Amino acid sequence: MLQFSRSKITLIVATIFMAMLLALPNIFTDERTSNFPPFIPSQKVNLGLDLQGGSHLLLEVDTESIKSEKIDDLSFDLRRMLKKNDFKYGNLKIIDDSIKFKLNNSELAKNVSDEIKKLSQSISQNALSSQSKSNLNVEINNSLVNISLTEDYLKQISISAVNQSIEIVRRRIDELGTREPTIQKQGTTRILIQLPGLDDPERIKSLLGQTAKLTFKLVDQKASYDPSNPTKIPVGSELLPSDSDFNFKYIVKKKVMVGGENLVDAQPGFDPQTNEPVVNFRFDRIGAKKFGKVTKANIGKPFAIILDNKVVSAPVIRDAILGGSGQISGGFSAEEAADLAVLLRAGALPAPLIILEERSVGPDLGADSVFAGKIAALIGFVAVIIFMVLIYRAFGFFADIALILNLVMVLGVLSLLQATLTLPGIAGIILTIGMAVDANVLIFERIKEELRNGSSVINAIDSGYKRALSTILDANITTLIAASILFFMGSGPVKGFSVTLAIGIFTSVFTAFTVTRMMISIYISRKKPKELKL
């Protein structure tokens, strides 16, 4: 066990050298590493959000709201279809995500069912689904009709809504120019967002908290809003609250003039006359045409600009707007106008997002943690080094060198894998400092025993290494089991801890069996000691 072939020594030294090279960038500033020649790695350890500051947000796409929206749309289409075909019916209600109604004439059941099939096909085209299968479950029992959306269809809706949401969230965040955001899907309906170095999470949260559905609708002038008698709303119109005035509401026509999907651009600006912050927007060809047509026909009448079911403003159409561009003013601050422009450019979310979890750390707390971690690591490190030399003398010194290399290797591997170092991860490294010497301690204690049993120095070292091997493996595998469970079950910071712990286990076993052993072998062959002081 004590002989090392030249090739083995080369391999060990090469491994250590590689690890040093990989760990090297961490002691330089970013500025310096960017000037490194290409053959020297420049990747640093990736600091977690808890160390560099930033926000971790777990969002859920509210797919329930899309489902009920779909059912609402369906019931609207259904009523229209029933009316068009002159099918008499009664008692149409939405109960538990399904539509129920009663036909006056049960003999029409076949015709009604055929018409519903046609409806089903028309929605499937919108949702890009497979045409062969129906998206609706239709049950007709005598004259009672029960219609619901199929499971497959609901799943499809929710998958496409989540994917679309991720795309829009990405656009909104990119618009703000946050550096290196991570946006990923988690599970089926969740989105995990990590924004390193962000110091104002409130702005992002408010941007993500709005679906930003923009519509232009005509104000219904047949009725005017009367707070004392709010129930009188004409058919085909609805009551919408004002965005700026809590007490005021508008009565607007349900029919959409133009929607936000027809916008091609939106930019914050100032009104040249009032100097008030506004958002200037531009429609695409179709939007411009629609808008031109409606404005031409309604000169002198007010229309409402509606964002997320709130009326932002309701200007009077002075002239036909044919150019396809316009302006939204609504008593915004400059920042509000800028944010609204971002939202409009990025597009509307298909469903509201709910923040399930937020963890934001300010950059200075992160820096404090890194500093405290470094100090703790340094002091713990020095304490262990001194202790080992006190107990094991020369061998302790060898173990200490192995320990230093061990730390370098952990840093190197972390940089190589671009694994994230978190605050618990630093704790993992410090724990590794304490536990890394364990393999060496096991070996040294074995050697001591062998010496006591009367073995020669060389034999004692040899069999010490041999006998300790299975114990070391067993002992470290148990810790590795715990670390891997942490890795698979844990989230964020805890995951970081398991990663450093696991890397530490591998490097400490590696250094004990190569580095320390090599040093001992060289020491023994040079000094040829008759007895060992352990």
Partner 1 sequence: MSIFSFATNSKIKFLSLRKPAFILSLTLIICSVLIYSFKGLNFGIDFRGGTLIEVETSESENLSNLRSILNNLELGDIQVQEFGSAKNILIRVEQQAGGDQIQQNVVNIVKTALNTSLSSDVNFRRTEVVGPKVSSELIKAGIIAIVVAVFAMLVYIWFRFEWQFSLGAVIALIHDVLLTLGIFSLLQLEFNLSIIAAILTIVGYSMNDTVVVYDRVRENLRKYRKKEIIDLLNISINETLSRTIMTSVTTLLALLSLYIFGGSVIKGFTFAMIWGVLVGTYSSIFIAAPLLNYLKVKRDWSVSSAVESTKNN
Within positions 404 to 463, which residues make up the interface with partner 1, using CB under 8 A? 423-424, 426-427, 430-431, 433-435, 437-438, 441-442, 445, 448-449, 452
| Near partner 1 in 237-266, by CB under 8 A | none
The count of residues interacting with partner 1 (CB under 8 A) is 77
Per CB under 8 A, 476 contacts partner 1: yes
For partner 1, which is the closer residue by CB, 324 or 366?
Answer: 366
Per CB under 8 A, 379 contacts partner 1: yes
Binding segment (CB under 8 A) for partner 1, from list 161-169, 259-267, 303-311, 495-503: 495-503
Task: Count the alpha carbons within 13 Å of 302 in the hemisphere toward its beta carbon.
Answer: 16
Q: How far is the CB of 212 from partner 1 (least distance, A)?
A: 17
Q: How far is the CB of 138 from partner 1 (least distance, A)?
A: 33
Question: What would the x/- binding string for partner 1 be over residues 307 to 346, using CB under 8 A?
Answer: ----------------------------------------
DSSP three-state, residue 177: coil
Q: How far is the CB of 499 from partner 1 (least distance, A)?
A: 12
Exactly one of 121, 368, 525, 527 binds partner 1 (CB under 8 A); that residue is 368
DSSP state of 317: P
Exactly one of 24, 46, 60, 415 binds partner 1 (CB under 8 A); that residue is 60
Exactly one of 13, 481, 525, 529 binds partner 1 (CB under 8 A); that residue is 481
C-beta of residue 380 within 8 angstroms of C-beta of residue 426: no
Residues ≥6 apart with Cβ < 8 Å to 434:
380, 384
Q: What is the dihedral of CA 443, 448, 451, 457, to 10 degrees?
A: 50
CA 432 – CA 403 distance, rounded (Å): 9
What token pair was written down for 17?
């050298």
CA 435 – CA 171 distance, rounded (Å): 46
Q: How far is the CB of 451 from partner 1 (least distance, A)?
A: 10
DSSP three-state, residue 185: strand
CA 412 – CA 476 distance, rounded (Å): 21
List strands edge to edge, sheet with 89-95: 89-95, 98-103, 144-149, 136-141
For partner 1, which is the closer residue by CB, 279 or 419?
Answer: 419
For partner 1, which is the closer residue by CB, 335 or 358?
Answer: 358
Q: How far is the CB of 497 from partner 1 (least distance, A)?
A: 5
Per CB under 8 A, 169 contacts partner 1: no
Per CB under 8 A, 367 contacts partner 1: no
Name the E strands within 201-302.
214-219, 237-241, 249-259, 263-270, 277-283
Q: How far is the CB of 385 from partner 1 (least distance, A)?
A: 10
For partner 1, which is the closer residue by CB, 79 or 467?
Answer: 467
For partner 1, which is the closer residue by CB, 87 or 497?
Answer: 497
Helices and strands per DSSP (H, E), number in the chain: 14, 18
Per CB under 8 A, 491 contacts partner 1: yes
Per CB under 8 A, 21 contacts partner 1: no
CA 519 – CA 399 distance, rounded (Å): 9
The three-state (H, E, C) secondary structure of 96-122, written as one string = CCEEEEEECCHHHHHHHHHHHHHHHHH
Q: Which stretches of 176-298 are DSSP H helices?
A: 201-208, 285-297
Exactly one of 31, 96, 107, 202 binds partner 1 (CB under 8 A); that residue is 202
Task: Count the alpha carbons within 13 Å of 234 in the hemisphere toward its beta carbon.
Answer: 15
Binding segment (CB under 8 A) for partner 1, from list 95-103, 164-172, 238-246, 491-499: 491-499
Residue with token string 């029409």: 108
For partner 1, which is the closer residue by CB, 209 or 241?
Answer: 209
For partner 1, which is the closer residue by CB, 381 or 510?
Answer: 381
CA–CA–CA angle 273, 278, 284 (5° rounding): 115
Exactly one of 147, 191, 410, 501 binds partner 1 (CB under 8 A); that residue is 501
Q: How far is the CB of 62 from partner 1 (least distance, A)?
A: 9
Exactly one of 111, 121, 478, 525 binds partner 1 (CB under 8 A); that residue is 478
DSSP three-state, residue 255: strand
| Near partner 1 in 382-401, by CB under 8 A | 383-384, 387-388, 390-393
